[in-house]
Structure 1
Amino acid sequence: MDKEPLTLLKDSVLALPDSQRKVANYIINHPTDVAFMTVDQLSSNVGTSTTTVMRLMANIGYSGYSEFQKNHQQMLREQASPQTRLEANLKSHNQSQSWTHYMERQLESIQQTATLNTEAMLNQAIEFIVSSNHIYTTSVRSGLPVAQYLVHNLNRLVGNAKFNLADSSDWVDDAVGMTKDDLLIVVSYSRYGKRIIDYARVAKEQEAKVIAITDSYSSPVVPYADLVLPCHSLGIASHNTIVPTMFMVDYLISAIALNYPNLTKDRLKDVNSILLSMNYHKE
């Protein structure tokens, strides 16, 4: 199709039946959210049926919701370069409201991320972590702080976690020894680093489990993932924001510490004992 999905909706909205117009308006007003939603989630949020959503897709020329969403996600990726984001955000920027606007946007992103990641999904991630022999985390660029924070705390709690920078080839030495009892946690945002995808692919070939913490179900790491944890990452300027992801990751760390005390208490005690013996902390 020549036109972008949102443009098709905007051009068609006035000619649509009322029920379909309601869906179209929701998509137009929540473009980033819809990129992550299933057709059931979309119809539930709008308060209509999946049949209405599918009829809307047919009316604007798509074979179904999946085709529309794929094209929509591609459009969002193409708009994701830092300079494009900055130019778009400058149009709505009001310096006097910067702090308030920032807080509102981040709170919305956290809430949306929380909605997308169900209790069952997070429990599965925790189960993968506590049952794995070795845990590896990886990322590049904007995702680095998330992966490093996660592995630092996991290693303190369970002692078998390691961070590998995807842009370095050192991860290959670990990947060749991966088994079905190991876990790779990938943090990847648009525009996705190629070496992250390579790492996820190799880990999957070694039959390791893979958790993808990423911003879209169309992310190129998703085909290699056993579990996808979607997180909003669109900031108010030019960069990927990690705030919603850090919120979710911090929950995983806290849940493991609280729900598996027999696994974590002794190790935390031993770590603290060594630090005290070194007078590591300033009194």
Structure 2
Amino acid sequence: MRDENLDLIKNIQKSFSRLSKGQKLIAQFITNNYDKAAFMTASKLGNKVGVSESTVVRFANALGYEGYPQLQKELQELIKTKLTTVQRLEMSQDYTNEGAVLKKVLKADMDNIKATIEEIDDEVFQNVVNSIFDAKRIYIIGLRSSSTLAEYLGFYLNLILDNVKIVTPGVSDVFEQMLRVGKDDLVIGISFPRYSTNTLNAINYTKEQGAVVIGITDSQVSPIASISDYTLVARSNMASFVDSLVAPLSLINALLVAVGMREKDEISSTFDKLEKIWEKHNVYNNKNTI
């Protein structure tokens, strides 16, 4: 029987040496692409790595599962909570060669953007843009590593609209900042692994108050997706212990441009005023540095 104290990745690593050649190909693919494998049928996974469907089933059996569906279920559970930092380091053998790190990380970021393009739902994206313009007030919340994305989105959205509030950690309690959220408001929750419990609790609170919720996250099975009215998915497959936020940032850029184009005349006037202010107060260094 499979040791229940071992998580899936450790179980694969422990069993690797005794797997057949075909099963090792499956193990390597799952280890490096567990978020993709989680939604593949046994047949599709087999085709992806060049083995038969029966080999995939025997691989699941070799790990102690009754069948592939049980392995797939655990894969899906894994991507909900992702991995601890220590586990990520243990999986980072491909990044031990410093000379190859740059290309590997950049390639992984490119793959994340490509996957995001292929999976994005254009109709949902348009609904999100419409919701932004329909909202009385817009709250943006993203904590821990996602706070960078929230600040970026809030910074530019504030230049386009005048009803945006960024919920920030440390200034006051998150719930205090969102106390007045109501049914006419929009809440944009940004949540990437490892998912912040405080973000999820705050989003649940706003949902109870009747606000429309937009989730920006890495998967349709992430915790925030189940409580969002609209979910925008951007891949953030890890590079060692660091999650890639390149695709999420690119998605946010697209959202900002789409919103900005609807307010093109207004923001043109806004930026004209800002340019005069920036120049007057020497905000940017415009001197030639040749």
Query: When the two structures are superposed, what TM-score results if normalisation uses the length of structure 2?
Result: 0.74
Unmatched tracts of structure 2, length 5 or more: none
1:265 corresponds in structure 2 to 268
2:133 is aligned to 130
Q: Deviation of residue 155 (structure 1)?
A: 0.2
Residue deviations 1:227-260 (CA, integer Å, cap 9, x gap): 1112222232212221111111111111222233
Please list the CA deviations of residues 77-111 of structure 1 after superposition, one character each: whole Å capped at 9, or x if unmatched: 56511121122112564322222212211100111
Distance in structure 2 (CA, Å) of the matches to 1:257 and 1:198: 30
Alignment of 1:70-109 (within 5 A): 70-77=73-80, 80-91=83-94, 93-109=96-112
Deviation per residue, 1:149-190 (Å, 9 max, x gap):
000000011122121125664332342311222111111122
> How far did residue 210 of structure 1 move?
1.0
The equivalent of 2:241 in structure 1 is 238
The answer as to whether partners of 1:188 and 1:196 remain within 8 angstroms in 2 is yes
Equivalent positions of 1:133-152 (< 5 A) are 133-152=136-155
**RMSD of aligned Cα (Å):** 3.9
For residue 219 of structure 1, what is the aligned residue in structure 2? 222
Return the offset for 1:24. 11
- 1:17 is matched with which residue? none
TM-score (norm 1): 0.76
Q: Does 1:178 align with 2:184?
A: no
**Secondary structure, counterpart of 2:92 in structure 1:** helix
Matches within 5 A, 1:103-118: 103-118=106-121
Query: Shift of residue 207 of structure 1?
Result: 0.8
Contact 1:164–1:170 (Cα < 8 Å) also in 2: no
**Relative to 1, partners in 2 of residues 1:70 and 1:229: Cα closer, same or farther, differing over 3 Å?**
farther
Residue 89 of structure 2 aligns to a residue whose secondary structure is: helix
Whole-Å Cα distance in 2 between the matches of residues 151 and 141 of structure 1? Answer: 16
Q: For 1:206-241, what per-residue CA distance to the aligned partner results, in whole angstroms no more than 9, with x for missing partners?
A: 111111111222322223211111222223221222
Q: What is the alpha-carbon distance in structure 2 between the residues aligned to residue 158 and residue 107 of structure 1?
A: 31
Q: Is the contact made by 2:80 and 2:221 (CA closer than 8 Å) also made in structure 1?
A: no
Q: 1 CA distance for matches of 2:124 and 2:278? A: 35
State the partner residue of 1:250. 253
Query: Greater CA deviation, 190-199 or 71-80?
Result: 71-80
SS at match of 2:216: strand
Residues 272 and 173 from structure 1, CA distance in 2 versus in 1: closer, same or farther, beyond 3 angstroms? farther
**Alpha carbons 1:158, 1:267 under 8 Å: kept:** no
> Distance between the aligned counterparts of 2:241 and 2:202, measured in 1?
27
1:197 corresponds to? 200
Q: 2:167, 2:178 within 8 Å by CA — same for their partners in 1?
A: no
CA contact (8 A) 1:138 1:186 kept: yes
In the alignment, the residues of structure 2 paired with residue 68 and residue 97 of structure 1 have an alpha-carbon distance, to the nearest angstrom, of 32
- Comparing 99-108 with 270-279, greater Cα deviation is found at 270-279
Identity, % of aligned pairs? 22
How far, CA to CA, are the matches of 2:125 and 2:19 in structure 1?
39
Deviates more, 1:187-196 or 1:76-85: 76-85
* In 2: Cα distance, 1:28 partner to 1:257 partner: 40
Per the TM alignment, residue 279 of structure 1 is displaced from its structure 2 partner at its CA by 4.3
